[in-house]
Amino acid sequence: MIPDQAWDLLTTDLPTELEPWVLRFAEAATFSERERRSYAWSMHLLSRLSGQAVTTAVMGVLTTEQPGRMPEVTDITAGFIPYEQGAGGGARSLREARMEIAVPFVEANNLRYAFGVVIGITPPEDSSDEVNEEKQTPSQVVSIDNYPVVVEYRRVRYSAPPNPNGATAACYAKPRASKRFFGPTWTDGIVIARHSLKNLGFSTGVSVPMANGGSCLVTDIDTSTTIDAVILNCGAVPSHTSTLSLATAVAPGSNVDVRTASRTFSAQVLRVNDHPSYYGNLIAHRLFLDTTGTPGDSGSLVIRTPHADSAGLYMGHTGGSAPEGLVQSMRQIVHYFDVDLFD
């Protein structure tokens, strides 16, 4: 739960140079006053994040052990940034090291909280998940309007089950009339997490075993690996399903439920990425949560509460002493695959 003190990091006034679409999205999403502020400031910071600022921030984490290496940016989000001080017996994470600069923060629940931008980058090729990150201390400081820009290695612990037939399905999908098919045509599908197919292959036509003993074929997939979702041809969407509404926007601080195959757990959104018109696969739209799931939860539907609209698809979690849940934005899935959702 994001503590009340953390909300004090945001001024009561909205950014003066706020793009008009931000307030339209916020109104359509029926945000609370807090969510409206956090969404506005998050979108403002993302709009101010220039290519030069990203390059400067990313170059700050490169060490002399990796000369000339420019890692790939995996995700960019804005919102609340929790971090520990002196975690792991004195070892410092990249996030903690970055926060040593003079940026506003609050302390609550044995954590510190800041508000700003987090950029995830691919880790060194020769590193393991247990790399000692205090050796990769940022050497340059980047901030926007006194809000920090943090760069960290993105190591994801995916929550896929050992076997694909144990994968959780988020919901059903049907192609819209406007859809252009670049692969097989289909009429009824199931949405699951793309990474669940790691042991089978990432191409259309792959047969995926189902828990009932049958199988479904991969019929729509992002071949560039950015969008962590895939659609399986399921034959026919059951008649008892109803339309699943889509969240117009999701704000830092929004409450969500993650509906897994065996239970539902609640979380709060820490950071978001959003865009008014681009949903392609050049940049991932991710949400980060303050709570994590367990193995087998990949593909679980993330519902915004109390609105009961779809926010995303659960992927897994980050590492470290304060892991965060990772979610693929459902709005990017809907617009990229050009589908309507059913539950």
Which of 152, 154, 147, 149 has its CA nearest to residue 54?
149
* pLDDT score, position 333: 96
Q: Residue 327 in contact with residue 289, Cβ under 8 Å?
A: yes
Which range among 60-74, 142-156, 176-190 has the greatest average pLDDT?
176-190
Report yes or no: 191 and 206 within 8 Å, Cβ to Cβ.
no
- The pLDDT value recorded for residue 61 is 63
Mean pLDDT of the chain: 86
Choose among 317, 312, 315: nearest CA to 332.
312
If one counts every other C-beta atom within 10 angstroms of the C-beta of residue 75, the result is 20
CB 144 within 8 A of CB 114: no
196 in Cβ contact with 160 (< 8 Å): yes
pLDDT tens for residues 202-228?
Answer: 899 999 988 777 889 999 999 888 999
3-class DSSP state of 188: coil
- The single-letter DSSP state of residue 248 is S
Residue 200, both tokens: 């089978």
Predicted confidence at residue 134, as pLDDT, reads 45
Can you tell me whether residue 25 is helix, strand or coil?
A: helix
pLDDT, tens digit (0-9, with 9 covering 90-100), for 290-334? 999 999 899 999 999 999 999 999 999 998 778 999 999 999 999
Mean pLDDT, rounded, for 267-286:
90
All structural domains of the chain, each given as residue ranges with its CATH number in brackets, are 4-154 (no CATH), 155-343 (2.40.10.10)
- pTM of this structure: 0.91
- Read off the pLDDT band of 142 (50, 70, 90): confident
Give 103's contacts (C-beta < 8 A, 6+ positions apart): 114, 116, 143, 146, 147, 148
Give pLDDT, residue 59.
66
pLDDT level of residue 259 (50, 70, 90 thresholds): very high
